[in-house]
A and B are shown apart, each in its own frame.
Chain A
Amino acid sequence: MILGGVVGLLYGWVVNPASTADTSPETLRADYRADYVLMVAESYQAEKDLALATRRLVFLGDSPALEFVSQALVFASQAGYAQADLAVLGELADDLRNLDSAGSEPES
């Protein structure tokens, strides 16, 4: 029975693990997460809707929106993103920071 259990575990974890096609955004690799934040920032630059941008960032998980943008900025700087992209990310980060310091959350 123990041998069967070991074989079953090996098969279920290594040979044929549970489907990969149902992951959540929390598990995305850092570069994909940074690119998602960049998309939000690009849209924000045109729309100037901070509440909408914050809602879109919830896609990435439960952490505060500013944290996602800060992480993306750090990644983008290290990965050598174009200055224009860094500026767009920086603008969103600044506006979220200003909102935090004003002590209010955007209406969602």
Chain B
Amino acid sequence: MRDERGSWYLLTGFVLGAVLGLVYAWRISPVQYLETSPRTLNSEYKNSYRAMIAAAYLANADLPRAQARLNLLEDANIPAALAEQAQNSLAGDGDPREAQALGLLALAIRQAQNTDSPIPATTDASIPPPTASLPGPAPETPGSSTDPQTDE
């Protein structure tokens, strides 16, 4: 009887400890991510990043570069994401210039798709991000990245 009660105490202690460990690991002291990529940004920051890509495109009209930058966000449908954000910006009290830039970029990508351009309009690993095509890409220092998804 006493032995049975002892094993239950052990099990209860284990479960309680595991729960406390999980609360600590997920809530109190969660993993701090460093060296992340734009795809891990929360949706609000992703919108800002997307708007900045569109603003830069409006300035330089460099579609492949804008496309490569948008690929970093890993949107399932890039033109749709741009158009949706443009509409939301117009519907809210967003900057009309931002909405215009987003709309123009969405249109340019759709046109590139429709004219069977070599520029793919969906996520495509064959298009490197802007810095990756440069002679001296950013060195990945082993162990410096704590973003688990970078190791995938």
The interface of chain A, by Cβ under 8 A from chain B, is 1-13, 17-18, 20-25, 27-32, 34-36, 38-40, 42-43, 45-47, 56, 59, 75, 78-82
Q: How far is the CA of A17 from the CA of B36 in the complex (A)?
A: 15
A23-B40, A80-B136, A81-B134 are contacts. A4–B59 as well, Cβ < 8 Å? no
Residues of B with C-beta under 8 A to A82: 134
Closest to B32 in A: A27
Question: In the complex the two chains form, is A46's CB within 8 Å of B26's CB?
Answer: no
Shortest A10–chain B CB gap in Å is 8
Binding site for A on B (CB under 8 A): 13-26, 30-38, 40-42, 45, 48-49, 52-53, 55-56, 58-60, 69, 72, 129-132, 134-138, 145, 147-149
Q: Nearest chain B CB to A8's CB is how many angstroms away?
A: 2
CB <8 Å contact, A79 and B137? yes
Contact B45 A8, beta carbon cutoff 8 Å? no
> Does B53 contact A39, Cβ atoms closer than 8 Å?
yes
How far does the alpha carbon of A24 sit from the alpha carbon of B34 in the complex, in Å?
10
Partner of A42, one of B25, B35, B59, B147: B59
Q: Which residue of B lies closest to A28 (CB)?
A: B36
Say what secondary structure dominates the interface of chain A: helix
List, in ascending order, chain A residues with CB within 8 A of B69's CB.
35, 39
Neighbour of A8 across the interface among B22, B30, B32, B135, CB < 8 A = B22
User: A6 contacts which chain B residues (CB < 8 A)?
Assistant: 17, 21
Cβ-defined partner of B40 (8 Å) among A4, A20, A36: A20
Contact present for A36 and B36 (CB under 8 Å): no
User: Judging by beta carbons under 8 Å apart, are B36 and A29 in contact?
Assistant: yes
